[in-house]
Amino acid sequence: MATAATYLLLFSLVLLLTSPLVAASSSTPVAAVEQPEELLQRFKASLKDPSDALSTWSPSTPYCNWSHVTCTGGGAVGLSLQGLGLSGDIAAEPLCRVPGLAALSLASNTFNQTIPLQLSRCTSLVSLNLSSAAFWGPLPEQLAMLPSLTSLDLSGNDIEGQVPPGLAALRGLEVLDLGGNRLSGVLHPALFGNLTGLHFLDLSKNQFLESELPPELGEMGGLRWLFLQGSGFTGAIPETLLQLEQLEVLDLSMNSLTGALPPAFGHKFRKLLSLDLSQNDFSGPFPKEIDKCVMLQRFQVQGNGFTGELPAGLWSLPDLRMIRAENNRFSGRLPELSTEASRLEQVQVDNNSFSGEIPHSIGLVRTMYRFSASLNQLNGSLPDSLCDSPAMSIINVSLNSLSGAIPEFRRCKRLVSLSLSGNALTGPIPASLGGLPVLTYIDVSSNSLTGGIPAELQNLKLALLNVSNNQLTGRVPPSLVSGALPAVFLEGNPGLCGPGLPNDCDAPLRKHQGLALAATVASFVTGVMLLALGAFAVCRRLHGVSSSPSPWMLVLFYPIKLTGDELLAALRDKNVIGRGALGSVYLIELQDGQNIAVKRLISSGKPTFRALKNEMKLLAKIRHKNIAKMLGFCYSEGEVCIIYEYLQMGSLQDLICAPKFTVGWNDRLRIALGIAQGLVYIHHDYTPRLLHRDLKSSNVLLGDDFEPKVTGFAIDRAVGEKAYLASLASDLNYRCYIAPELNCTKKPTHLMDVYSFGVILLELITGKPAEQPASDDSVDIVRWVRRRINVTDGAAQILDPAISRTAQQGMQAALELALRCTSVMPDRRPAMDEVVWSLQLLYSPQTPPSTGVALEP
Ligand SMILES: *[C@@H]1O[C@H](CO)[C@@H](O)[C@H](O)[C@H]1NC(C)=O
Ligand SMILES: *[C@@H]1O[C@H](CO)[C@@H](O)[C@H](O)[C@H]1NC(C)=O
Ligand SMILES: *[C@@H]1O[C@H](CO)[C@@H](O)[C@H](O)[C@H]1NC(C)=O
Ligand SMILES: *[C@@H]1O[C@H](CO)[C@@H](O)[C@H](O)[C@H]1NC(C)=O
Ligand SMILES: *[C@@H]1O[C@H](CO)[C@@H](O)[C@H](O)[C@H]1NC(C)=O
Ligand SMILES: *[C@@H]1O[C@H](CO)[C@@H](O)[C@H](O)[C@H]1NC(C)=O
Ligand SMILES: *[C@@H]1O[C@H](CO)[C@@H](O)[C@H](O)[C@H]1NC(C)=O
Ligand SMILES: *[C@@H]1O[C@H](CO)[C@@H](O)[C@H](O)[C@H]1NC(C)=O
Ligand SMILES: *[C@@H]1O[C@H](CO)[C@@H](O)[C@H](O)[C@H]1NC(C)=O
Ligand SMILES: *[C@@H]1O[C@H](CO)[C@@H](O)[C@H](O)[C@H]1NC(C)=O
């Protein structure tokens, strides 16, 4: 990019050149005397500005003093009107007569119109940014009449049709971003052949483009960022691409590219930081020249048909953080790494044909965070050092031919997930696993493990323990199976005994209860879902309504003691704990003292039973310590009740609204972190990916030690999108949790959940409920906080005074995070995994800072 100085120069030049033009073109005498203030007033008058963001634009002050207007010494004027909630008409005619107008941003607004052709009269424009502003229709060729343009950003709109070849006339263009639109057709070679000054080219996410990669790409010698992912490109990579010596980021992922890579691929990419060729149809071996990319940090080639070895030189690149090569046909051995020099954080090579042993050095690389190599032909034993990296969180080497014993895992205190299933491992399950504080997922099924299940595992907060199909013996530690809703899978170990198992260690079976418990266990055994077991009751129609026989069907995914009759009898007003537009929530105590919450959805479209069952199954399969279990559902011709687990301590909202909310800062952080982790799981790690869409503090349940569980998620799947949106529109109660863009976009995104999370974080920071943070003013918490941020010393008024001053620094940091999450502009919000990293740093400041790579499933 040009430096500030060159821009200045450019701006002044532009001014010199264009002022006479402006004067000449405005030939009517009246217009000739119009001041910039008047022109801008007329421009403003055509806009809709509901939040009054342009209130400082008053004729009595010089326009250079107005907000969102910048004037540089050289006489260049910039208008930065992004993210102000603007809509209405864009009066380009007066606007383009403002002398020296060099930069115009209307990004992140909701104009809902075509790109005004008249903008082509703003001949002094150097930079035009219309991204994410709800523009639709064709890309006007007239924009090519802006002779000084160096940066054109039209990304994230609904622009359709061809990219006009005439744009090639913009010889000075350095940045061209057309990503995320609905452009179609074939790209004209002139676009690439003539725009030789480009540094940044983004044509990604235009799924209707039909093009090969044109050889002319190679003529854009200055290109540093090239984003062509997800745009329907076909054919092979042209040899000329290899000439782009300045490339830093090359993303060709998610296209239909084919063929082998040119053998010299990489030999001139000395500056390449990130290479993404994933999800294409490339084949053949991967060129060895990749070792010339000495600055490479991210290497992603997963989901192709590459064969042969991964070049040895790749593994020793000094800055490499990530290797993703899963779902290919690579073979050969995984090399040892230089444990001193390697900065690898993530190695994913699952589903290939790698053979030989797991390198001993994997766990010795101190930054290693994730190692997954499942579904290969790795043999030999697990290295003793596999878990020595202090950052190691995920290990998956299932479905290989590994043998020998499971080593003691003591050092990887951040290990979350360990999958060793489907190998030939022998010996006992090491008791030391019980000492890894965040281990939540253990799958050692289908091996030849012997001995007992270590009692130490009871220390863990497990989301899944699968030991099935081994030769384990002895008594199952009681608390592993006693919880009402365990996630422990024991089948295929005839030597195990304990209450509820076919083989009770001491007492003979008590007939009745024994059966129930056996059924319970059998249900775990059959896998996640109990459906087949027939935990399936037909209940009567709701009390007193009508006599027409309309059967209610109850489907339970977990063994809870509840019959259909009991459920219907309990759906009474006295059990209601919450009401919303979609229906009421009932709290029901079961015979065994366990509590469940039942969400009864009214006027919920008319899903068929079968469709609903499939959706519900999907939700019931979610296993995460921070996601409340969906226990079952009840159905009758379009009316649906969903049954969730409920925790004794109630919801976060209850806690915040209690007369005294005195929970300490570290516990509040713990709540926030848990919620965030649950969301990361459903957003990124669960298949299919889900959105919560109704996150609010009343949907956060609290367990012991303030461990939160998120509930009420993905209701849209039960009721259908239409009914769901209608309910959101009619429910005035929880509006403050809803991201503002919901009004203008139809497609829900994970960033809307991030917004809702930000609102909860603000509740935790301020100690005030989101709906009405103060008794005197009726604004919601986001506005309440924003108002106070502006006044000097505002933060002191925001942070909950009930919390000791020593926590202030952390609270301040959390506040900044919450403000980012609740940013009006979705693209300013962090993704949930980034939120987790940030919160983890606050929660345990003594742990080393994260290595920066987000968890990417
Ligand atoms: C405009 O801004 C300048 C510099 O910031 C200041 O000196 C001047 O007083 C301002 N004028 C008005 C009318 O506010
Ligand atoms: C256009 O504006 C958006 C929103 O402010 C910003 O994220 C983006 O970087 C801008 N584009 C360019 C090329 O500067
Ligand atoms: C592209 O450049 C060639 C010469 O370099 C020129 O003849 C042609 O008109 C240009 N195309 C456009 C669309 O400007
Ligand atoms: C393994 O990778 C191939 C592509 O190479 C893919 O078709 C297949 O579905 C993958 N298998 C699994 C289990 O992911
Ligand atoms: C481990 O790998 C197997 C096979 O690729 C996969 O099915 C399983 O989901 C993975 N486990 C985890 C926890 O990611
Ligand atoms: C692992 O497999 C390779 C062949 O892929 C074989 O040569 C080697 O002996 C095997 N090692 C062990 C320990 O089985
Ligand atoms: C547990 O392991 C067995 C054997 O590998 C497998 O069939 C079953 O699906 C697993 N259960 C869960 C819930 O992962
Ligand atoms: C969304 O639209 C509703 C009316 O449809 C309005 O009451 C509400 O204020 C709007 N929300 C935002 C954030 O603009
Ligand atoms: C855009 O405008 C059209 C009418 O021109 C209207 O039907 C549509 O609802 C608007 N879309 C949005 C998101 O406001
Ligand atoms: C707070 O300050 C920002 C800029 O500093 C301004 O854009 C915003 O309008 C102010 N908000 C209020 C409520 O005063």
Taken in order 629, 635, 638, 641, the sign of the CA dihedral is negative
d(CA 490, ligand 7 centre) in Å: 9
Is residue 178 a part of any domain in this protein? no
Is residue 14 a part of any domain in this protein? no
Say how far apart CA 822 and CA 753 lie, in whole Å.
10
Residue type, 184: S
Give 737's contacts (C-beta < 8 A, 6+ positions apart): 694, 695, 696, 755, 756, 759, 760, 770
Is residue 177 a part of any domain in this protein? no
Residue with CA nearest ligand 1 atom 10: 65
Which of 272, 298, 333 lies at the terminal end of a domain, its last residue? Answer: 333
Which residue in the list 443, 694, 780, 800 is annotated as catalytic? 694
Residue with CA nearest ligand 1 atom 12: 61
The C-alpha R_g of the chain, in whole angstroms, comes to: 31
- Edge-to-edge strand ranges of the sheet holding 495-497: 403-405, 424-427, 448-451, 471-475, 495-497
Q: Are residues 694 and 579 in the same domain?
A: yes
CATH number of the domain that residue 364 is part of: 3.80.10.10
DSSP readout, 115-130?
PPGGGGG-TT-SEEE-
Q: Are residues 734 and 643 in the same domain?
A: yes
Ligand with an atom nearest the CA of residue 66: 1
Residue with CA nearest ligand 2 atom 13: 153
Is residue 542 a part of any domain in this protein? no
The reply to whether 573 belongs to the active site is no
Give 343's contacts (C-beta < 8 A, 6+ positions apart): 318, 319, 320, 321, 365, 367
d(CA 849, ligand 2 centre) in Å: 29
Ligand with an atom nearest the CA of residue 685: 5
Is residue 1 a part of any domain in this protein? no
Atom of ligand 2 nearest to the CA of 152: 13
Is residue 534 a part of any domain in this protein? no
d(CA 804, ligand 10 centre) in Å: 29
Q: Are residues 367 and 301 in the same domain?
A: no
Do 393 and 371 contact (CB within 8 A), yes or no?
no
Q: Are residues 634 and 688 in the same domain?
A: yes
d(CA 124, ligand 3 centre) in Å: 22
Residue with CA nearest ligand 7 atom 9: 527
Helices marked H in 450-504 — which ranges?
478-482
Q: Tell me which residue of 760, 794, 802 sits closest to 780, measured CA to CA.
A: 760
Total domains present in the chain? 4
Atom of ligand 9 nearest to the CA of 746: 13
Residue type, 593: G
Residue type, 716: D
Bridge partners, 443 (sequence order): 419, 466
DSSP symbol at 260? P
At 305, phi and psi to the nearest 5? -120, 35
Which of 280, 302, 333 lies at the terminal end of a domain, its last residue? Answer: 333
Q: How many CB atoms lie within 10 A of CB 74?
A: 17
Helix (H) or strand (E) holding 751, with range, is: helix 750-766
Mutate to test the pocket of ligand 1, among 65, 69, 72 (most ligand atoms within 8 A of CB): 65
Q: Are residues 40 and 144 in the same domain?
A: yes
Instruction: Give the CB-side neighbour count of residue 537, counting CA atoms within 13 A.
Output: 19
Residue with CA nearest ligand 9 atom 8: 112
User: What pLDDT is recorded for position 657?
Assistant: 87
Q: Tell me which residue of 225, 215, 118 sits closest to 179, measured CA to CA.
A: 225
d(CA 340, ligand 5 centre) in Å: 29
Angstrom distances, CA of residue 677 to CA of 19, 624, 674, 832: 56, 9, 5, 8
| Burial class, 760, CB count within 10 angstroms (exposed 0-12 / middle 13-18 / buried 19+) | buried
Mutate to test the pocket of ligand 3, among 162, 191, 194 (most ligand atoms within 8 A of CB): 194
Q: Are residues 316 and 370 in the same domain?
A: no
The pTM (predicted TM-score) of the whole model is 0.62
Q: Are residues 691 and 817 in the same domain?
A: yes
| Burial class, 787, CB count within 10 angstroms (exposed 0-12 / middle 13-18 / buried 19+) | middle
Do 344 and 320 contact (CB within 8 A), yes or no?
yes
Angstrom distances, CA of residue 192 to CA of 145, 176, 420: 18, 11, 50
Do 490 and 517 contact (CB within 8 A), yes or no?
no
Is residue 818 a part of any domain in this protein? yes
- Maximal CA-CA distance, the chain: 106
Say how far apart CA 58 and CA 38 lie, in whole Å.
9
| Burial class, 267, CB count within 10 angstroms (exposed 0-12 / middle 13-18 / buried 19+) | middle
Mutate to test the pocket of ligand 4, among 327, 350, 376, 398 (most ligand atoms within 8 A of CB): 327
Give 574's contacts (C-beta < 8 A, 6+ positions apart): none
Say how far apart CA 197 and CA 175 lie, in whole Å.
9
List, chain by chain if needed, residues with CB within 6 Å of any ligand 10 atom.
786-787, 790
Ligand with an atom nearest the CA of residue 59: 1
User: What pLDDT is recorded for position 217?
Assistant: 92
Q: Is 728 helix (H, G, I), strand (E, B) or coil?
A: helix
Taken in order 361, 364, 368, 370, the sign of the CA dihedral is positive
Q: Are residues 308 and 359 in the same domain?
A: no
Q: Are residues 62 and 156 in the same domain?
A: yes
Q: What are 705's two structure tokens?
A: 């030690």
Which of 283, 300, 333 lies at the terminal end of a domain, its last residue? Answer: 333
Give the residue numbers spanning the domain of 451.
Answer: 344-504
Q: Is 536 helix (H, G, I), strand (E, B) or coil?
A: strand
Do 431 and 409 contact (CB within 8 A), yes or no?
no
Is residue 513 a part of any domain in this protein? no
Q: Are residues 314 and 352 in the same domain?
A: no
Scanning the structure block, which residue is given the tokens 């005294």? 660
Atom of ligand 2 nearest to the CA of 129: 1
Tell me the average confidence (pLDDT) per consecutive run of 10 residues in the chain, 857 residues long. 45 40 41 80 94 90 93 91 93 94 95 94 96 94 94 96 93 95 91 92 93 92 95 95 96 96 94 97 96 96 97 94 96 91 93 96 92 97 93 94 94 90 96 88 95 90 88 87 65 84 60 33 33 31 39 80 82 84 85 87 71 87 90 81 88 88 90 95 89 92 90 84 78 80 80 95 92 73 81 72 83 91 89 91 53 33
Q: Are residues 651 and 774 in the same domain?
A: yes
Q: Are residues 214 and 81 in the same domain?
A: no
Phi-psi category of residue 847: left, alpha or beta, with phi > 0 → left and psi -120 to 50 → alpha: beta
